[in-house]
Structure 1
Amino acid sequence: MARTLRVLTLLMGWSCVAIGLFHVALGNAALPGAGSAGATVDSWGRFMGASFVGYGLAWVWAARQRPVPARAVRWLAAVFLLGGVGRLLSLAVHGRPQWFQIALAVIELTLPPVFFWLADAEERALSGRPEAAAAGR
């Protein structure tokens, strides 16, 4: 379970970095249906892309710690879950978005509970073996 946590945390981090860079580079073209949304939406999207790069780097930082800090994983997963809740609010207020946005919402609502469950896996594993805990720090 500790290895699964580390791999998923690292995968989450690099995925967010890649997605964020994609949005910084492409602006409106990165959003299905937003190609003609104008300069304001383009500016906002590129800014949010940069923010997502930072968010991804926080995941990468967490994955590189020994042990992976459960508290950081829970906070980062909570932020991701909040994004999914935001998509649900948008669905309720504005209706059904493009299909890919629905797929992203499913990921954003189902992956955080996995991280909440795995968050302290490495801390638990190391606390059960004092020699491993000393070597892992």
Structure 2
Amino acid sequence: MARAKVLRVLVLTMGYACVAIGLFHVLLGNASIPGAESAGATIDSLGRFFGAIFAGYGLAWLWAARQSPIPAAAVRVLTGVFLLGALGRLLSLAVDGWPHGFQVALGVLELVLSPLLFWLADAEERAAGVTRPVTRQEAPPSP
């Protein structure tokens, strides 16, 4: 039962944090990115656009948190997107070098939280006794 509680807290936290961060970027533009204050109008526009997308991503986490039980499939998809972002940071590191220290800390957080969220994804479904339906490929052969 403890795993289910941790999952719920993490899903809610992800949702609220992503909405807040996304709106922060929409409202502040380049000023919301350490070291990017003078990046120009194109990067400002891009950052504000992605801020709105990130706020929507947070709303998807909050939608998942409102379900009972929290759907494991939704957690896995949302966590996959989160992990893809972390992998993008690693690619950027390999191509362009080390970013601002705050961005490094965020990347570490993303790389640590992703496996935890994948591990916890079905915690509420398990606690509620929800079983995944057998798909056609998994069904035993008929006699």
TM-score (norm 1): 0.92
Matches for 1:34-49 after TM superposition, within 5 Å:
34-49=36-51
Q: What is the CA RMSD across the aligned residues, in angstroms?
A: 0.8
Shift of residue 4, structure 1, vs aligned partner: 1.0
The corresponding residue for 2:123 is 121
| Structure 1 gap segments, 5+ residues each | 129-137
The corresponding residue for 1:32 is 34
The corresponding residue for 1:111 is 113
Matches for 1:1-137 after TM superposition, within 5 Å:
1-127=3-129
| Structure 2 gap segments, 5+ residues each | 131-143
1:13 match: secondary structure: helix
Equivalent pairs counted in the alignment come to 128
Give the % identical residues. 70
TM-score (norm 2): 0.88
| Cα displacement string for residues 2-25 of structure 1 (whole angstroms, at most 9, x for unaligned residues) | 111111100110000000000000
- Which stretches of structure 1, 4 residues or more, deviate above 3 A after TM superposition? none
Name the one with the larger helix percent. Answer: 1
The corresponding residue for 1:135 is none
Matched residues in 1 for 2:38 and 2:127: separation?
51
Shift of residue 84, structure 1, vs aligned partner: 0.4
Shift of residue 26, structure 1, vs aligned partner: 0.2
Matched residues in 1 for 2:95 and 2:27: separation?
29
Matched residues in 1 for 2:13 and 2:90: separation?
25
| Cα displacement string for residues 61-107 of structure 1 (whole angstroms, at most 9, x for unaligned residues) | 00110110000000000100000000000000000111001001001
